Amino acid sequence: TSEARCRSMVQIHQPCVVGDNLWLWRADHWLSDQYLVYNHENFCSSGLHVARPAHHVTMYGLFVEHTLSDMTLWQGEDGVTYFYQSELPYDAMDEAAGQTSRVAPFKACGYLVDQAVQRHEAVGVGVYAYFRDHDVTVPAAIKVPDHDGVRIQNALTKYLNGGPKTFVKGKCLLQCEKRYGRIQCIIQKGSRCVGSNTDADKDKPHFASA
């Protein structure tokens, strides 16, 4: 069968749009650990793209998972998100793997607000890391411009799991050693980093606002 590929799952180009309970998920695994996707197959860049003309867009319960560029890209003014969940892709490639496979490595974040945006608010933003295949470092879970009108409240990161991986003999079960991957800070506001590195404690969530 052929891959399913797209640039963005949902694009918004008009103002005053409300989204309620959107789950935008790149299919990077099937029903069990026996059927996994590797090497950036089923390519999708972003789950949600709110374009510049789309002012006053509001999201209630937005879930964007496993895409291969910035999970959510927000360029419109006066956007608001209430509750956001984003899990980074299991098969994300680091620099070495990208060179070997001739595929661009993963260099993205969970929630990106364009640097030109003056007003944006997001409340309850969670970004999680489970890098199954490669030792990927994400500089920041959330990236926003350093403007007074841009506010991120109650954001969190959590290290869920990480490779190297092994399969349990005779079972469709994957076990990981929890050594691969990290998110270096929760929020990057302009050039300022806010919040802890997930390496500080892989068993607990880390919280920040900015």
Kindly provide the residue ranges of all beta strands, DSSP E only, lying in the chain, ordered along the sequence. Answer: 6-12, 18-25, 44-50, 58-65, 72-74, 79-87, 111-113, 120-131, 137-138, 142-144, 150-162, 165-167, 174-176, 182-183, 187-189, 192-194, 206-208
Mean per-residue pLDDT pooled into runs of 10, the chain (210 residues): 82 98 86 73 94 98 97 98 97 92 92 98 98 96 98 98 85 84 98 98 98
pLDDT for residue 3: 73
Contact 88, 138 (CB under 8 A): yes
* Res 27: pLDDT: 82
pLDDT at 180: 97
pLDDT score, position 172: 62
Q: What is the pLDDT of residue 31?
A: 55
Pairing of strands 120-131, 79-87: parallel
Cβ(185)–Cβ(140) under 8 Å?
Answer: yes
Q: Which two tokens stand for residue 88?
A: 């980074």
What pLDDT was estimated at residue 115? 98
Q: Which residue carries 């990106």 as its tokens?
A: 112
